[in-house]
Structure 1
Amino acid sequence: MESLDTVLAAHRAYLLGWNIGAAGGPDLTTYRSDVPHVTLNGVLRVAGHTPSEALVEARLRLRGVPRIWWVGPDSDAGTADGLVALGATEVARMPIMTVALDAAGDAPTPAGLHIAETTDLDAFVAAYARVSGIPAEGVAATIEREKAFSGDGTVIRLAGRLDDGRIVGTAVAWLSHGLVTLYFVGTQPEQRRQGIGAAMTRAALDLAREHGACTAALTSSPIAEAVYRRLGFQPVGEFRLLTF
């Protein structure tokens, strides 16, 4: 099982793949996609800066876009509370979860669902945008950023389609630092509670094993945590997500 530091490094590498701005260094790592969606612009790490110093610099780099602060185990202790004292609002606490691929649980694929890698970014992004809260006016920019994605690893996009071709489930498998990290795992609202999300996750884990990965990681929303626990994922840390 990879260390938490490795998991966090892989997470940073993925989000930096969206970056078109000044990423900074390991002491204050930021990414800017210019997509009008809070989680696609933000601060990934604060080390060696006071919260007030970090806030001044981050505002310069991220001016004009919605953004998030990912304050996790790789940021200095007290960063989150310091930012809150400066006016930040904590919007979520998200567990960082991992599982060894040879210990992951099974998840059946629902009848009529066909999961495969896709390169149809127009349809794929439109599907995950609807679930992730990316506004309609931001979909075109998201598609362009997906097309231009360039990171220290390999990104594989999985679409779950029904017999009529509609995408009802999505997952992004990010292969980097010797593990797979999952993003944009989602199910269209009218198709939920059918096991599609679990099946998409399991398919991504199978694919990662074929590529030589031994560990999977993700950050979970509260609503999805039970699904991931059933697949064997366990918390190894936590992000506090903050905005101003």
Structure 2
Amino acid sequence: MASLDTVLAAHRAYLLGWNIGAAAHPDLPTYRSDVPHATLNGVLRVAGPAPSEALAEARRRLHGVPRIWWVGPDSDGGTADGLVSLGATEVARMPIMTVALDDAEAPTPAGLHISETDDLDAFVAAYARVSGIPAEGIAATVEREKAFSGDGTVIRLAGRLSDGRIVGTAVAWLSHGLVTLYFVGTQPEQRRQGVGAAMTRAALDLARERGAHTAALTSSPSGEGIYRRLGFRPVGEFRLLTF
């Protein structure tokens, strides 16, 4: 199983692949996509700068876009509380979860076909609807997906019905010897049919074929039960703040 430090490094590497802003500094790595969606612009850690200094610099770099601050085990102790005392707002706590790739099983629902896709227009439109990216931000998201450049490999999986509609999505990020999952989602009309679990399982199978041994993700409260049934277990936590 990969160490928590490795999991966090892979997570940073993925989000930095969205960055079109200034080069990231290891003490305060930020990423700016200019997509109007908070999780695609933000701060990844603080190591060294005082919260007040870090907050001022982050606001300067990310001015004009919605943004999120990921405060996790790789940030200095007391960072989240320090930022809250300066006016930041905690909006969520998300477990960091991992699983060995030979531990999970999930059936594929009848009529669902899962495969890699390069149809970014349809793929982004599908995950945008689930993730809360506004319609006016889809074109920018497609462009950033096309220009994505990170220390790893992105695999985009689409789950389609027989009529070609995308009802499930998953992004598998292969980096640092493991796979990290993003944009795992199911269209509202198809929920509670096992699509999300099948998309996750397909991503894990593909990653194992490509040499990964550990999978990681951060989970929303609604998804945690699904991931636990697939064998994922918490190894840490992010506190997400707006600022």
Q: Counterparts of 1:59 and 1:99 in 2: how far apart (Å)?
A: 35
- Asked whether the equivalents of residues 16 and 23 of structure 1 are also in contact (C-alpha less than 8 Å), the reply is no
Deviation at 1:23, TM superposition (A): 3.6
Hey, what does 2:8 align to over in structure 1?
8
Deviation at 1:25, TM superposition (A): 1.4
Deviation at 1:157, TM superposition (A): 0.1
* 1:212 counterpart = 2:184: no
Amino acid at match of 2:218: T
Deviations 1:101-138 (A, max 9, x none): 122x2110000000000000000000000000000000
Deviation at 1:24, TM superposition (A): 2.8
TM-score with structure 1 length normalisation?
0.99
Unaligned segments of structure 1, at least 5 residues: none
Amino acid at match of 1:128: Y
Deviation at 1:26, TM superposition (A): 1.2
CA-based RMSD of the aligned residues comes to 0.5
TM-score with structure 2 length normalisation?
0.99
Unaligned segments of structure 2, at least 5 residues: none
Amino acid at match of 1:79: T
Q: Counterparts of 1:160 and 1:102 in 2: how far apart (Å)?
A: 22
Q: Following superposition, which runs of at least 4 residues in structure 1 exceed 4 angstroms of deviation?
A: none
Hey, what does 2:123 align to over in structure 1?
124
Q: Counterparts of 1:23 and 1:239 in 2: how far apart (Å)?
A: 23
Q: Counterparts of 2:173 and 2:58 in 1: how far apart (Å)?
A: 26
Amino acid at match of 1:180: V
Q: Counterparts of 2:8 and 2:187 in 1: how far apart (Å)?
A: 28
Alignment: residue pair count: 243
Q: Counterparts of 1:24 and 1:152 in 2: how far apart (Å)?
A: 13
Q: Counterparts of 2:185 and 2:231 in 1: how far apart (Å)?
A: 18
Deviations 1:138-196 (A, max 9, x none): 00000000000000000000000000000000000000000000000000001100000
Hey, what does 2:153 align to over in structure 1?
154
Q: Counterparts of 1:23 and 1:73 in 2: how far apart (Å)?
A: 23
Q: Counterparts of 1:4 and 1:207 in 2: how far apart (Å)?
A: 22
Hey, what does 1:76 align to over in structure 2?
76
Hey, what does 2:192 align to over in structure 1?
193
Q: Counterparts of 1:31 and 1:69 in 2: how far apart (Å)?
A: 10
